[in-house]
């Protein structure tokens, strides 16, 4: 049965003798070597006993072993479970207990080497921490370094995967509770990739500088799968750092970067910012991009980042256009094949080939997650303007109702950030006997702030019920690995 994703990858990279995947200073693969490595790894996986529909947990990282094994596992028809390389033992225990993978691949020490061929044996799992272990019954697959020249070169991939079968279990960020495993097919991933390729004029001539986590939908679903579907080149960095970014852009033919708002904030403060004018496109996602940050980047670079909107359960939903008007504070229009509408209570609803099949092992959550007509309930509050652009007002659970009035934290946070010296802000609701909830704010500052003056500033810009009753200056707001503010942790402090 044809598989549009693998057919496009084979067509994009066959007989390409130029380097298409570069892993820092460690290694590089030409198009032909990439296909050959995937084909060989897929055969080894099958010999190790991996069968269609088996789940395989892969410790992620910007290394050839991980990238090749992800694609090889999918070619073999397996279901990939990406693992955060910095996960703690309790976090690993939770994911392994929920996903129950039959195989696991990876070890921090092994991943720092580059495997050209894979040899498999059962061992106790050793991860990046101390004595991390996989459960009984799960086989660890480990790589051994051999030269790629010893392998027969193949310009194709023999795949048994099906486009509509579960292929990836992406775990939600868990900012409001225990993470849930979203069951995604290659069809879901490919549908989003096609929409982005069209919207961003993404081609094999592009070159992505990739520094996002490869266990998250932004780095994996958009960065890796999007690039492979488009046939573009990727240079992986071990992490984001301003010097690495600017050096790579100066020395290579980089045309694209994908980042999150905290990264763009750091870039905007760098005196080398004008050097990024050579980039064709910058994309922002995973958290709202403040309008003032968009404006600062646009002033120097001629245009701001392309903001898009997606989530683990739906991959990508909307994007501002690459060619056309990019509206600050808005996440653009639906991608091809995606339908979006706003429910009566303001919740954003999504339908399309990009939407997951459901949560792993959670029938009640699946029933709750979809409307009767098949739309996925995103949990986000939003509005669509007359041009069809979507604006995310905030999370449904984050909505503050104070004295009967609705307060969207994002609106208050934007005004706080517009005050000189405030770097970041988080606004939440605190239980109140009088108001039901009252608005409180936490701010990170670059300089000393007079809270009394700040409140007067806000009173000139916000209705009285939106002005925080209390403003607290903190050294750092709690965040997850992608820089998303952990509002649930802030609220938990009130309960404690």
Whether 76 has a pLDDT exceeding 90, the answer reads yes
Q: Which domain holds residue 287?
A: 223-395
Whether 131 has a pLDDT exceeding 70, the answer reads no
Residue 403 sits in the same domain as residue 341: no
Among the candidates 379, 395, 411, a domain finishes at 395
Separation between Cα atoms, residue 271 and residue 279, nearest integer Å: 16
Residue 27 sits in the same domain as residue 137: yes
Whole-Å CA distances, 285 to 89, 250, 277, 329, 458: 29, 24, 20, 12, 27
Separation between Cα atoms, residue 301 and residue 410, nearest integer Å: 26
Q: Which candidate, 300, 348, 342, 307, places its Cα nearest to that of 325?
A: 307
Model confidence at 399, in pLDDT bands (50, 70, 90)?
A: confident
Per the domain annotation, does 258 fall within a domain?
A: yes
Per the domain annotation, does 246 fall within a domain?
A: yes
Residue 238 sits in the same domain as residue 387: yes
pLDDT score at 336? 96
Mean pLDDT of 384-413: 85
Residue 153 sits in the same domain as residue 102: yes
Positive or negative, the Cα torsion across 226, 231, 232, 238?
positive
Whole-Å CA distances, 209 to 5, 77, 189, 295: 22, 29, 20, 23
Whether 109 has a pLDDT exceeding 70, the answer reads no
Whether 159 has a pLDDT exceeding 80, the answer reads yes
Mean pLDDT of 344-365: 94
Lowest-confidence region among 122-126, 344-348, 433-437: 122-126
17-37: pLDDT as tens digits: 999 999 977 689 999 999 998
Q: Which candidate, 13, 334, 367, places its Cα nearest to that of 199?
A: 334
Among the candidates 163, 186, 203, a domain finishes at 163
Per the domain annotation, does 105 fall within a domain?
A: yes
User: What's the CATH number where 485 sits?
Assistant: 3.30.300.30
Per the domain annotation, does 403 fall within a domain?
A: yes
List Cβ neighbours of 111 (8 Å cut-off, separation of 6 or more).
Answer: 59, 61, 63, 65, 66, 85
User: What's the CATH number where 376 sits?
Assistant: 3.40.50.12780
- For the chain, the domain total comes to 3
Whether 176 has a pLDDT exceeding 80, the answer reads no
**Spatial contact of 444 and 425, defined as CB atoms under 8 Å apart:** yes
Separation between Cα atoms, residue 284 and residue 307, nearest integer Å: 5
pLDDT score at 119? 39
Residue 238 sits in the same domain as residue 129: no
Query: Which of residues 282 and 60 earns the better pLDDT score?
Result: 282
Q: What are phi and psi of 90, to 5 degrees?
A: -60, -35
Residue 241 sits in the same domain as residue 148: no
Lowest-confidence region among 104-113, 249-258, 275-284, 471-480: 104-113
Residue 235 sits in the same domain as residue 335: yes
List Cβ neighbours of 457 (8 Å cut-off, separation of 6 or more).
Answer: 419
pLDDT score at 124? 38
Q: Which candidate, 461, 492, 465, places its Cα nearest to that of 478?
A: 492
Residue 486: both structure tokens together: 């952990």
pLDDT score at 453? 93
Residue 374 sits in the same domain as residue 422: no
Residue 454 sits in the same domain as residue 319: no
Strand, helix or coil at 62? coil
Mean pLDDT of 340-351: 96
- pTM for the predicted model, two decimal places: 0.82
Residue 169: both structure tokens together: 């279990």
Per the domain annotation, does 208 fall within a domain?
A: no
Compute the radius of gyration of the chain from its Cα atoms: 23
pLDDT score at 323? 95
Whether 301 has a pLDDT exceeding 70, the answer reads yes
pLDDT score at 436? 78
Whether 456 has a pLDDT exceeding 70, the answer reads yes
Model confidence at 143, in pLDDT bands (50, 70, 90)?
A: low
Separation between Cα atoms, residue 384 and residue 363, nearest integer Å: 31
Per the domain annotation, does 215 fall within a domain?
A: no
Residue 377 sits in the same domain as residue 412: no
pLDDT score at 63? 83
Separation between Cα atoms, residue 318 and residue 331, nearest integer Å: 6
Burial class (CB in 10 A: 0-12, 13-18, 19+), 199: buried
pLDDT score at 49? 86
Mean pLDDT of 123-148: 50
Q: Which candidate, 171, 312, 236, 263, places its Cα nearest to that of 20?
A: 236
Model confidence at 182, in pLDDT bands (50, 70, 90)?
A: very high
Query: Which of residues 473 and 399 earns the better pLDDT score?
Result: 473
**Spatial contact of 151 and 118, defined as CB atoms under 8 Å apart:** no
Residue 9 sits in the same domain as residue 148: yes
Per the domain annotation, does 216 fall within a domain?
A: no
Among the candidates 362, 395, 428, a domain finishes at 395
Q: What are phi and psi of 183, to 5 degrees?
A: -85, 110
Residue 439 sits in the same domain as residue 334: no
Whether 147 has a pLDDT exceeding 80, the answer reads no
pLDDT score at 120? 38
Mean pLDDT of 80-91: 80
**Spatial contact of 256 and 206, defined as CB atoms under 8 Å apart:** yes
Whether 297 has a pLDDT exceeding 70, the answer reads yes
Per the domain annotation, does 273 fall within a domain?
A: yes
pLDDT score at 123? 37
Lowest-confidence region among 58-67, 160-169, 335-344: 58-67
């Amino acid at each position: 049965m044809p598989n549009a994703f693998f057919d496009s990858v084979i067509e994009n990279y066959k007989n390409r003798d130029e380097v298409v995947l570069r892993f820092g200073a460690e290694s590089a693969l030409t198009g032909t070597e990439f296909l050959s490595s995937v084909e060989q790894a897929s055969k080894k996986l099958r010999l190790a006993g991996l069968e269609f529909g088996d789940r395989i947990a892969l410790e992620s990282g910007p290394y050839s072993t991980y990238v090749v094994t992800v694609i090889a596992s999918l070619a073999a028809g397996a279901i990939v479970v990406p693992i955060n390389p910095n996960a703690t033992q309790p976090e690993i225990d939770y994911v392994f207990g929920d996903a129950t993978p039959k195989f696991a691949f990876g070890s921090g020490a092994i991943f720092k080497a580059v495997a050209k061929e894979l040899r498999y044996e059962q061992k106790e799992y050793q991860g990046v921490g101390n004595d991390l272990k996989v459960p009984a019954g799960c086989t660890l697959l480990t790589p051994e370094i051999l030269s790629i020249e010893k392998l027969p070169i193949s310009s194709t991939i023999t795949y048994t995967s099906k486009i509509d079968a579960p292929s990836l279990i992406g775990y939600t960020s868990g900012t409001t509770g225990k993470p849930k495993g979203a069951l995604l097919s290659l069809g879901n991933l490919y549908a989003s990739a096609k929409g982005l390729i069209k919207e961003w004029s993404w081609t094999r001539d592009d070159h992505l500088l990739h520094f996002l986590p490869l266990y998250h939908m932004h780095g994996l679903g958009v960065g890796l799968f999007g690039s492979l579907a488009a046939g573009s080149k990727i240079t992986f960095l071990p992490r984001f750092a301003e010097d690495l970014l600017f050096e790579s852009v100066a020395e290579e033919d980089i045309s694209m970067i994908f980042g999150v708002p905290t990264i763009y904030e750091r870039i905007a403060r760098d005196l080398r910012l004008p050097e990024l004018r050579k980039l064709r496109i910058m994309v922002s996602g995973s958290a709202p991009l403040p309008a003032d940050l968009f404006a600062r980047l646009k002033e120097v670079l001629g245009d701001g980042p392309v903001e898009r909107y997606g989530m683990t359960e739906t991959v990508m939903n909307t994007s501002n256009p690459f060619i056309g008007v990019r509206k600050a504070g808005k996440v653009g229009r639906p991608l091809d094949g995606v339908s979006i509408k706003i429910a009566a209570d303001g919740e954003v609803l999504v339908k399309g080939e990009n939407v997951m099949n459901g949560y792993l092992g959670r029938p009640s959550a699946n029933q709750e997650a979809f409307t009767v007509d098949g739309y996925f309930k995103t949990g986000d509050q939003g509005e669509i303007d007359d041009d069809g652009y979507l604006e995310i007002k905030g999370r449904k659970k984050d909505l503050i109702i104070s004295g009967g009035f609705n307060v969207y934290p994002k609106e208050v946070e934007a005004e706080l950030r517009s005050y000189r010296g405030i770097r970041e802000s988080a606004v939440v609701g605190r239980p109140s006997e009088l108001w039901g909830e009252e608005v409180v704010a936490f701010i990170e500052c670059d300089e000393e702030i007079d809270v009394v003056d700040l409140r007067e500033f806000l009173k000139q810009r916000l209705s009285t019920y939106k002005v925080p009753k209390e403003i607290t200056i903190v050294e750092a707001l709690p965040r997850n690995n992608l820089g998303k503010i952990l509002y649930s942790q802030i609220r938990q402090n009130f309960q404690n």
